[in-house]
Amino acid sequence: MKCLMAALALFLGGAPAAAEVQCGGAFDDFAGAMASEARAQGHDAAKVSEFFASVRHDPKVIAADRAQGIFQLPFVDFSRRVISQNRIQNGRANLSRHAATFDEVQRTYGINPGVLLAFWALETDYGAVQGNFNTLNALMTLSHDCRRPELFQPQIFAALELFERGDFDPLRMTGAWAGEIGMVQMLPRDILENGVDGDGDGKVLLKTSVPDALLSGAAMLRSLGWRANEPWLQEVTVPNDLDWSKTGLDHPRPVSEWGTLGVQVRQGPPGPVDLPASLILPQGRNGPAFFAYPNFHVYFEWNQSFVYVTTAAYFATRLEGALIYDAGNPSPALDGDQVQLLQERLMARGHDVGGIDGILGARTRAAVQAEQQRLGLPADAWPTAELLSAL
């Protein structure tokens, strides 16, 4: 299956640095300016010339970046599309095959095997589909494009540093169209900061070494704030008379308080009674319901798509034996054009929805919940035709 992380690169996590070089204009001039900036940062002139010598603009990268229709799928549709029985079986086989590495991940980082397995599966089908875009060309093309240069330009200088170490070949390094490399798809700066030589061969080879890839992914999650040996997501059942305005990522409360409100874990014991949990309803009060624990928020540092994050976190629970979620009977989803219209109307009322893109992201959902409360509708953050009409 096509690499999901490449399809989701619009939402890459992490705080972006400022763009160093003016984007746009003739690509060759831009490449020259990037090389000049690299030398100004102290990189060896000969190495800089060698690094940038073969760089080319790749129009296929821009085409891939603009094709973001997958984000308009609601959670149930998206998760059913990407979580297959075959992926679950392969995940459990890989857990057995690489048990020693997963034991080390658990021991060192306090991260359950299912978490890394889910990323590994969704992003590269356990390493089978890592992408065939030239990584430097992809990063340079996206750095030159004025859509998100502040995100991608720092990755060029990180890749240059990897090149100087002998760990990046500008001609032969390939990966996803957005510049991610290896089995769990990490950007060059993430590799510099979190790369782990898991197999002890003196190199961090995320494309070919499972121990390197999994331990590096675990180190990255820890650096993003993963809390060792704590849960991340758990399916729950909710009473019909719940105050829906209490739901959403911005309204955490201790597990014990949710219990007094009638929210119950569907399978297994809940998290510690004093652990904060948000009650999230990916498709409103009539659809699936989950406790999102503090570790769930770390997923947004890896990737900022609400649908992807919830799917990855849920898939991790399935790989650890959780039941298939109860899909319920949610109200029909708005299509992409309707979501854009919704976003326009929300912005007209002063809400920050993060742009008119037809994607039901976290900020759009928060604005929806606020307007539902104002209009006296069930405030479950799931937009309906009724809400759109009322706005």
pLDDT digits (tens, 9 = 90+) for 118-143: 999 999 999 999 999 999 999 999 99
Per-residue confidence (pLDDT) for residue 18, from 0 to 100: 57
pLDDT at residue 244 is higher than 70: yes
Per-residue confidence (pLDDT) for residue 72, from 0 to 100: 74
Contacts of 350 (CB under 8 A, 6+ apart): none
Which amino acid would we find at residue 48? V
Q: What is the pLDDT of residues 319-361, one digit of tens each?
A: 999 999 999 999 999 998 999 999 999 999 999 998 888 888 8
Mean pLDDT of the chain: 92
Rounded distance between C-alpha atoms, residue 320 and residue 130, angstroms: 25
Q: What is the largest CA-CA distance in the chain?
A: 69
Rounded distance between C-alpha atoms, residue 139 and residue 129, angstroms: 19
- Answering whether pTM is above 0.85, one says yes
Per-residue confidence (pLDDT) for residue 336, from 0 to 100: 87
Residue 165's Cα: distance from chain center in Å? 28
The CB-side HSE value for 288 (13 A sphere, CA atoms) comes to 22
Q: What is the pLDDT of residues 215-232, one digit of tens each?
A: 999 999 999 999 999 999
**Average pLDDT, stretch 282-299?**
97
What Å distances lie between residue 334 and 136, 281, 285, 386, 391, CA to CA? 38, 16, 16, 11, 14
**Average pLDDT, stretch 260-287?**
95
User: Between residues 275 and 1, which one has the greater pLDDT?
Assistant: 275
For 75: left if phi > 0, alpha if psi spans -120 to 50, otherwise beta; the answer is: alpha
**Average pLDDT, stretch 159-170?**
96
| Percentage of the chain lying above the pLDDT 70 cut | 94
In this structure, the number of other CB atoms found within 10 A of the CB of residue 261 comes to: 15
pLDDT at residue 4 is higher than 80: no
pLDDT at residue 213 is higher than 80: yes
Lowest-pLDDT range of 72-76, 113-117, 273-277, 376-380: 72-76
Q: How far apart are the first and last CA of the chain?
A: 40
What Å distances lie between residue 87 and 56, 63, 90, 124, CA to CA? 36, 28, 5, 11
Token pair for 359: 């994607």
What length does the chain have? Answer: 391
Rounded distance between C-alpha atoms, residue 374 and residue 391, angstroms: 11
pLDDT at residue 1 is higher than 70: no
Banded pLDDT at 146 (limits 50, 70, 90): very high
Rounded distance between C-alpha atoms, residue 316 and residue 7, angstroms: 20
For 248: left if phi > 0, alpha if psi spans -120 to 50, otherwise beta; the answer is: left
**Average pLDDT, stretch 253-277?**
95
Rounded distance between C-alpha atoms, residue 373 and residue 245, angstroms: 7
2 phi/psi in degrees, rounded to 5: -60, 140
Query: In the block, which residue shows the tokens 């999102």?
Result: 292
Which amino acid would we find at residue 233? L
The answer to whether the CB of 297 falls within 8 A of the CB of 249 is yes
Q: What is the pLDDT of residues 12-46, one digit of tens each?
A: 334 445 567 999 999 999 999 999 999 999 999 99
